[in-house]
Structure 1
Amino acid sequence: MNEVQITESLKGLPGWTFEDNKLQKKYKFNDFPEAMAFLVRLSYEAENRNHHPEIFNCYNRVELALNTHDAGGKVTELDFDLARAAENIF
């Protein structure tokens, strides 16, 4: 996807940004178990797509970064699909 396509697609994903060739978002939860429940549910979505995000978790915070390694580290529709899945879980 080119930058125009990415920018247009981001309009449907509040809070997501495009930086360093990655889609990125920071989530905040009430506590650690809530953050972990989100990550467990997301892990099934990622595994079903054979598409695995970069994840950072510290207590009630989760940060996701998405790009497609098979596409040379570029953002593809697969990244947007997983971002939409994360939003549905959240």
Structure 2
Amino acid sequence: MPSEPLSQKEIEDRLRELPGWRLEQDRIARTYRLGTHLAAAAMVVQVAVVQDELDHHSDLVLGHHTLSLSVHTHSAGGALTERDFELARRIEAIASGHGAS
């Protein structure tokens, strides 16, 4: 599925709909805080399932009580596309179930 790069305005508009997500250079990123390391690891597994469903993968960093993600679309030359925001929305939808904030 070809993905067209989003304009700066489109990126800003979509970020307003995703509290906690931010623009970091050419990526969107977020760090979630969780109650335990095990809760963070469990969230990693569920994020991996979502990524496989979408065939779109982020960079993940598992910390002591944190999970950090950053994403952009490699097939669009590293630009941000609608695929990145769909992944972010899907991650947001599962985060509360893990007690993430």
TM-score per shorter chain, which class? Answer: over 0.9
Following superposition, the deviation at residue 34 of structure 1 comes to 0.5
CA offset digits 1:24-66 (Å, max 9, x no partner): 0010000011001111111010011111101111111111001
Count of residues in correspondence between the two structures: 90
Higher RCO by CA contacts (8 Å cutoff, separation 6 or greater): 2
Local SS of the residue matching 1:43: helix
**Cα distance between partner residues in 2 of 1:37 and 1:88:** 15
Unaligned runs of 5+ in 2: 1-5, 96-101
Unaligned runs of 5+ in 1: none
TM-score, normalised by the number of residues in structure 1 = 0.97
Following superposition, the deviation at residue 4 of structure 1 comes to 0.6
- The answer as to 2:13 corresponding to 1:8 is yes
Local SS of the residue matching 1:14: coil
**Partner letter of residue 9 of structure 1?**
R
Q: Of 66, 69, 72, which residue of structure 2 is paired with 1:67? A: 72
Structure 1 residue ranges (4+ consecutive) displaced by more than 2 angstroms after TM superposition = none
The alignment's C-alpha RMSD in Å is 0.6
Q: Of 13, 22, 25, which residue of structure 1 is paired with 2:27? A: 22
**Could you tell me the percent identity over the aligned residues?**
31
**Cα distance between partner residues in 1 of 2:33 and 2:71:** 18
Q: Of 32, 39, 49, which residue of structure 1 is paired with 2:37? A: 32
- The answer as to 2:61 corresponding to 1:56 is yes
